[in-house]
Structure 1
Amino acid sequence: MHTETKDEMQEKILDAALKRFTHYGASKTTMNEIADDLHCSKASLYYYFPDKNAMHMAVLERIAEAYFQEMEKETQQVKSASKALNNIIEIRRIFVSKFCRLEIFKILQDGNSFFYAGMIKAKKREIEIHTEIIKAGIASGEFKVKHPAKAAELLVQSLMGLRFSVPDHFRNDADLNEEQFAQVIEKQKQLLEIFIKGMKA
């Protein structure tokens, strides 16, 4: 009979938590509900995670890793840098739509320093991915850019900035609803189109 290792049990807990969080929302999910789903005691969960916030963070880290791995695929064998950059926006749209109930911005508002540090690393990783795509565009003659890393940084920061300015009445301490998110994605596509034209000039 197979005895589960600590890592295997931790993965099972994260699977159950992710399923609950994406369906009901993180704040509306209790540790008791996750324990019930796993047919274990709540005390068993606390052996792996000190509290629900720690579990929430672990879920977000897992999703973030999958997100970046998907984006990094776009840096491999780039045939069209323009298409690859547009694909990044589509990857973002799919992930945010799928995991919109994970309440990322609520955690930011709560002032979680560990999560904030993770966001800084995530932004750096996203800039690096965009840099690689722009470099591929330069190598193929598609783009004419002197400083790909600076262009990538400006592009990523501009795209991120739209999340806080569209729509005008949106608060930066809340997560987007579907309509608001669709507006942001549309503006990101428009901005990217202008940016790509500038890099081709």
Structure 2
Amino acid sequence: MTSMKINTPKTRIQRKNTQAILDAALEVFSRQGFRGATLDQIATEAGLSKPNLLYYFPSKEAIHVTLLTQLMTTWLDPLREMDAAGDPTEELLGYMRRKLEMSRDFPRESRLFANEILQGAPRMIGALEGELRDLVEEKSTVIRGWIAAGKIAAMDPHHLLFSIWAMTQHYADFDVQVRAVLGPGHDPLAEAEGFLTTLFTKLLRPE
């Protein structure tokens, strides 16, 4: 008779240490990239010994995949919220604003994602070709419906979404460059919101 393995709930200490490792890994990966990061660096950042870290995660890749999986869910939520029954311009502007808010609130996560993509997405290509592609196709169909109804200007839905990603995530991934160019006394994301609202409002206006 084979025995069944029962997954017991994590204790408070185990949950605390798991989260400490993930928070530390996020900091290290966003700074060093996957290749430059080491388990020793992550353990030190988390305030744990390396053997203790390995009790929770068997490898650097396991930590990285966990972070990317969590990130994909967070990244897709704003797009899922786009409502086909809403006002098209307001729905798209709302999506743009939520993506800007994510650049403000989750800059390390954005850089982690960017580093993974720059390396060819070896650990998340399946999610990009599956979950992400499916959601983009679903929302592209919604956008095409708005275009066909004459509610927004005609354009390629995919490249509209790509442009929103590029113009919002830029403020997280290239924060140092943005602040260096603007100089002191600027609030880049607040200024970006006003500019992008004007830009996309004009872009979406039906001819």
Q: TM-score range by the shorter chain?
A: 0.5 to 0.7
- Structure 2 CA distance, aligned partners of 1:125 and 1:185? 28
Please show how residues 102-141 of structure 1 align to structure 2 within 5 Å.
102=109, 103-104=111-112, 105-116=114-125, 118-121=127-130, 124-125=133-134, 127-128=136-137, 130-135=139-144, 137=146
Tell me the CA shift for residue 26 of structure 1.
Answer: 4.1
Tell me the CA shift for residue 185 of structure 1.
Answer: 5.7
Superposition RMSD in Å? 4.2
SS of equivalent residue, structure 2 residue 9: coil
Contact 1:20 1:34 in 2 (8 A): yes
Q: 1:18–1:136: structure 2 CA closer, same or farther, 3 Å change rule?
A: farther
| Alignment of 1:153 onto 2:158 | yes
- Among candidates 19, 22, 44, match of residue 15 of structure 1: 19
- Structure 1 CA distance, aligned partners of 2:177 and 2:198? 17
If the length of structure 2 is used for normalisation, what is the TM-score? 0.61
- Structure 2 CA distance, aligned partners of 1:129 and 1:186? 28
Contact 1:18 1:59 in 2 (8 A): yes
Contact 1:31 1:42 in 2 (8 A): yes
Q: 1:155–1:70: structure 2 CA closer, same or farther, 3 Å change rule?
A: closer
- 1:97 aligns with 104
- Structure 2 CA distance, aligned partners of 1:44 and 1:81? 49
Q: Give, as a single letter, the amino acid of the residue that structure 2 aligns with 1:142.
A: K
Q: Give, as a single letter, the amino acid of the residue that structure 2 aligns with 1:70.
A: P
Q: Give, as a single letter, the amino acid of the residue that structure 2 aligns with 1:85.
A: L
Tell me the CA shift for residue 72 of structure 1.
Answer: 1.0
- Structure 2 CA distance, aligned partners of 1:193 and 1:14? 44
Tell me the CA shift for residue 136 of structure 1.
Answer: 5.6
* Percent identity over paired residues: 12
Structure 2: gaps (5+ residues): 1-6, 33-40, 179-187
The number of aligned residues is: 178
- 1:41 aligns with 52
SS of equivalent residue, structure 2 residue 101: helix
| Alignment of 1:4 onto 2:9 | yes
Tell me the CA shift for residue 118 of structure 1.
Answer: 3.9
- Structure 2 CA distance, aligned partners of 1:129 and 1:178? 35
1:154-196 superposed Cα distances (whole Å, 9 cap, x missing partner): 21233345579x79xxxxxx93217737376666444422331
Which structure: larger Rg? Answer: 2
Tell me the CA shift for residue 95 of structure 1.
Answer: 1.7
Tell me the CA shift for residue 143 of structure 1.
Answer: 3.5
- Structure 2 CA distance, aligned partners of 1:100 and 1:18? 15
If the length of structure 1 is used for normalisation, what is the TM-score? 0.62
Tell me the CA shift for residue 126 of structure 1.
Answer: 5.6
- Structure 1 CA distance, aligned partners of 2:139 and 2:18? 30
Q: Give, as a single letter, the amino acid of the residue that structure 2 aligns with 1:31.
A: A
Q: Give, as a single letter, the amino acid of the residue that structure 2 aligns with 1:91.
A: R
- Structure 2 CA distance, aligned partners of 1:126 and 1:176? 26
